[in-house]
Amino acid sequence: MAVRSRGTKLLQTFLPRCLAPPPGRRHLSSPAWSSQLASLPPRDLYRLSVTDPDQFWGSAAAERLRWVEPFQRVRDCELSSGRISWFLGGKLNVSVNCLDVHVEKHPDRVALIWERDEPGTEVKVSYRQLLEMTCRLANTLKSHGIHKGDRVAIYMPVSPLAVAAMLACARIGAVHTVVFAGFSSEALAGRIQDAQCKAVVTCNQSVRGGRLIDLKATVDAAVKSCPSVQHVFVSQRTDNPTVMDRPRDVQLEEAMSPQSSICPPETLDSEDLLFLLYTSGSTGQPKGIVHTQAGYLLYTALTHQFVFDYREGDVFGCVADIGWITGHSYVVYGPLCNGATTVLFESTPVYPDPGRYWETVQRLGITQFYGAPTALRLLLKYDESWVKKYDRSSLRTLGSVGEPINHEAWHWFHSVVGEGRCPLVDTWWQTETGGICIAPHPADEGAPIIPAMAMRPFFGIQPVLMSEEGEPVQGGDVGGALCISQAWPGMARTIYRDHQRFVDAYFSAYPGYYFTGDGAYRSAEGYYQITGRMDDVINVSGHRLGTAEIEDALDEHPSVPETAVIGVPHHIKGEVPFAFVVLKEEQQEEPDAILTELRNLVSTKIAKYAVPQHFLVVKRLPKTRSGKIMRRILRKVATEMTDDLGDISTLDDPSVVKEIVHAYEQYRKQPHQRKEE
Ligand code: 7RM
């Protein structure tokens, strides 16, 4: 039974007086948005959300989510200590909100369209089927000793079973941590160990771009060093056999089939953990970002509706992998909470040819297409006929995420793909923010969209730009460090088992504010443009990588005393890692074999995409007297901007600069280096 909280009533008496919608404004038709809020223009909703967050979020949570017990208090947040709680005292179940509520109303509506690697072999899963699959999987987990609070690693490609595994965890109150199925066994093991996972859910193989990848073999290698893992559940994605180590290994489909298709949902507190997702920071191990139940779900549902102008009957196509936060929020939780039909894209943008995305749009009738700039930059190199030969008239909104979108890609996406008639939303957000924070609001008719600008804060988001002195910068046409001054329901709650690291990373640079790590510019009109990372995190094809992680992997090589990795621009991937490597004296003459070993090290320790595109062997690194590597100088060298090195007076020995510039010039002369660009 749905229980309404006090917020709804409050809002209904409050709204008509102060925020009457202007006449003639289009009604935003979303099935789950029932009150007068629905008829308000987004601009007025934004004002309400920042002037009275309790009112706004309280009503939204009461109306949009089904509660087992109503919450007693909308929020209790103190940014300086990283204490963030929303909808206190409320009890609910996320899987009920994503499944059961829709099965009651429209059991046969398609929940998932699994766009499998091979074009034309898509599989549709209704809400009823997804609920049954989720319950069977949940009962399977329970019968193998997994209960509320236990952590479960999901190492699977995008598929209905992967979604069911996430929702099955949510149903029984287990905490999932999805690990991108391209990560190496060591990266997987590190995450399993940090989270102390009791089980891993995987597939025998994955299929991508026509190629098979042995996921189970990677899991086997990983769990050797993970004593917490009691079971590995293996789904059969391909017909090829897998070595099973029973009773540890459990064939998933076999185990599910005798299970009941009903699983009573666990009642969870608003602030119980929903999932962990590991993400790179500027130092140390990846951080287990913690998201909780109600606030996260509500925030993804509202952003999914408003930013993409989602309406009932739409086919929502976010092509992200579920291993990234974008897949969590806009393939799974946001769309399913809204009762949408969501596409699971298993393939690649160029398989079997560069028309794949648009052929899929035509075949599935996709209405919103949400992708990454790196893929767009790759596709725009091909002839426009790859786009134009497919009917894209179903498209209504286009979206971009993951990194700054350059003007060329923006215009190609908007004019060629969208024929100039679909709003293109550049959406800025992070693993830590849970959902989109800055983006145009296409549902707000008449609001301008300026190319390549993330534009406007979402409901409840108050961006602040900070000067180098740590003071808020006022006015327009200014830049600074991007912070957010008030808590919002979708934000991360902590770093798993390391709250101090959470406070240090996000709340101590500018006390009282959430610091994003990104720089931004605010135009005279008050619109925001993200300029990129300010810390030692680089963004390869939209995926975050800490330079420290790569350095850690390289430094393990016995012949390598020291390395420094920076990001350099790349025309397709956005950025690629560039490694400066110091070799032991005796190795300096013949570095090629070592460089090959270094490439392998990074690939096995992290993932293939983390392997530096460039290696430059140097005698020593530029350091300050306190021993800090001056990456700024390395960046200038690698981007060939040595005319303007800035202040090098703090360098311990300024002659090192000449040395490195010389090494770089030699490197540039090697013919094989040039053709890689
Ligand atoms: C959703 C996601 C977060 C980092 C973030 C930025 C960069 C993401 C944009 C962007 C410019 C954008 N989560 N970033 N979106 N930069 N414009 N629209 O990507 O945790 O993996 O990465 O990605 O630097 O801090 S993430």
Lookup result for tokens 């999987």: 137
Assess whether pLDDT exceeds 50 at residue 22. no
pLDDT score at 303: 96
Assess whether pLDDT exceeds 80 at residue 177. yes
- DSSP element (H, E) containing 600: helix 592-605
And the tokens for 55? 């009112």
pLDDT greater at residue 19 or residue 286: 286
pLDDT greater at residue 271 or residue 446: 271
| Percent of the chain clearing pLDDT 90 (strictly above) | 74
Assess whether pLDDT exceeds 60 at residue 9. no
How many residues make up the chain in this entry?
Answer: 677
Alpha-carbon gap, residue 75 to 69, rounded angstroms: 16
CA distances from 441 to 35, 55, 271, 336 (A): 20, 21, 29, 21
And the tokens for 633? 């100088």
Asked if residues 357 and 317 have their Cβ atoms less than 8 Å apart, the reply is no
pLDDT score at 38: 62
Q: Which residues pair with 304 in a beta bridge?
A: none
At 135, give phi and psi (nearest 5°). -65, -45
Residue in 426, 516, 544 to alter for ligand 1 test, most ligand atoms within 8 A of Cβ: 544
Assess whether pLDDT exceeds 60 at residue 154. yes
DSSP 80: G
* CA-based nearest residue to 95, from 60, 136, 63, 123: 136
Q: Could you tell me the distance, in angstroms and rounded to a whole number, from the CA of residue 191 to the centre of ligand 1?
A: 21
Cβ of 325 below 6 Å from ligand 1: yes
pLDDT score at 588: 66
Task: Name the least confident of 189-193, 407-411, 588-592.
Answer: 588-592
And the tokens for 551? 């350095």
* CA-based nearest residue to 567, from 539, 541, 586, 590: 539
Alpha-carbon gap, residue 298 to 65, rounded angstroms: 7
pLDDT score at 16: 26
Lookup result for tokens 């934004």: 46
And the tokens for 200? 């891993």
- Residues 63-101 as b or e (16 or more Cβ within 10 Å = b): bbbbbbebbeebbebebeebebbbbeebbbbbbbbbbbb
Q: Which fold has domain 463-532?
A: Luciferase; domain 3 (2.30.38)
pLDDT score at 2: 35
pLDDT greater at residue 588 or residue 515: 515
- Residue 280: what residue type? S
- What stretches of 65-159 show up as alpha helix (H) in DSSP? 94-95, 101-105, 127-143
Q: Could you tell me the distance, in angstroms and rounded to a whole number, from the CA of residue 429 to the centre of ligand 1?
A: 5
Peptide bond into 622 cis (omega under 30): no
pLDDT score at 468: 83
Q: Which atom number of ligand 1 is nearest to the Cα of residue 539?
A: 23
Assess whether pLDDT exceeds 50 at residue 4. no
Assess whether pLDDT exceeds 60 at residue 603. yes
CA-nearest residue, atom 18 of ligand 1: 428
Residue partners of 260: CB distance under 8 A and separation at least 6: 135, 136, 139
pLDDT greater at residue 321 or residue 640: 321
pLDDT tens for each residue of 375-392: 998 999 899 999 999 999
CA-nearest residue, atom 5 of ligand 1: 430
pLDDT tens for each residue of 302-346: 999 999 999 999 999 999 999 999 999 999 999 999 999 999 999
Asked if residues 575 and 566 have their Cβ atoms less than 8 Å apart, the reply is no
Cβ of 454 below 6 Å from ligand 1: yes
Cα radius of gyration (the chain):
25
Assess whether pLDDT exceeds 60 at residue 517. yes
Instruction: Decide the pairing of beta strands 494-495 and 287-292.
Output: antiparallel
pLDDT tens for each residue of 69-112: 999 999 999 999 999 999 999 999 999 999 999 999 999 999 99
Confidence of residue 191 (pLDDT cuts 50, 70, 90): very high
Asked if residues 643 and 661 have their Cβ atoms less than 8 Å apart, the reply is no
Q: Which atom number of ligand 1 is nearest to the Cα of residue 429?
A: 1
pLDDT score at 7: 30
Alpha-carbon gap, residue 604 to 606, rounded angstroms: 6
Assess whether pLDDT exceeds 60 at residue 19. no
Cβ of 530 below 6 Å from ligand 1: yes
Assess whether pLDDT exceeds 90 at residue 556. no
pLDDT greater at residue 128 or residue 654: 128
pLDDT score at 115: 98
Assess whether pLDDT exceeds 90 at residue 642. no
Q: Could you tell me the distance, in angstroms and rounded to a whole number, from the CA of residue 193 to the centre of ligand 1?
A: 27
Cβ of 279 below 6 Å from ligand 1: yes
Cβ of 140 below 6 Å from ligand 1: no
pLDDT greater at residue 7 or residue 150: 150
Confidence of residue 644 (pLDDT cuts 50, 70, 90): confident
Alpha-carbon gap, residue 90 to 271, rounded angstroms: 9
pLDDT score at 8: 31
Assess whether pLDDT exceeds 70 at residue 217. yes
pLDDT tens for each residue of 236-269: 999 999 999 999 999 999 999 999 999 999 999 9
pLDDT greater at residue 147 or residue 9: 147
Q: Domain 536-674: what homologous superfamily? A: ANL, C-terminal domain (3.30.300.30)
Asked if residues 383 and 511 have their Cβ atoms less than 8 Å apart, the reply is no
Alpha-carbon gap, residue 301 to 303, rounded angstroms: 6
Instruction: Decide the pairing of beta strands 273-279 and 175-178.
Output: parallel
Q: Could you tell me the distance, in angstroms and rounded to a whole number, from the CA of residue 403 to the centre of ligand 1?
A: 5
Domain positions in the chain are 463-532, 536-674
Q: Which atom number of ligand 1 is nearest to the Cα of residue 517?
A: 25
pLDDT score at 39: 66
CA-nearest residue, atom 22 of ligand 1: 430
Cβ of 425 below 6 Å from ligand 1: no
Q: Could you tell me the distance, in angstroms and rounded to a whole number, from the CA of residue 428 to the centre of ligand 1?
A: 6
CA-nearest residue, atom 26 of ligand 1: 430
Alpha-carbon gap, residue 333 to 436, rounded angstroms: 13
pLDDT tens for each residue of 436-483: 999 987 666 667 788 767 688 999 999 999 998 899 999 999 999 999
Assess whether pLDDT exceeds 50 at residue 29. no
Alpha-carbon gap, residue 632 to 233, rounded angstroms: 46
SS3 231: strand
Residue in 403, 431, 450 to alter for ligand 1 test, most ligand atoms within 8 A of Cβ: 403
Lookup result for tokens 């709340």: 507
Cβ of 70 below 6 Å from ligand 1: no
Task: Name the least confident of 22-36, 221-235, 271-285, 311-325.
Answer: 22-36
Alpha-carbon gap, residue 644 to 652, rounded angstroms: 19
pLDDT score at 444: 66
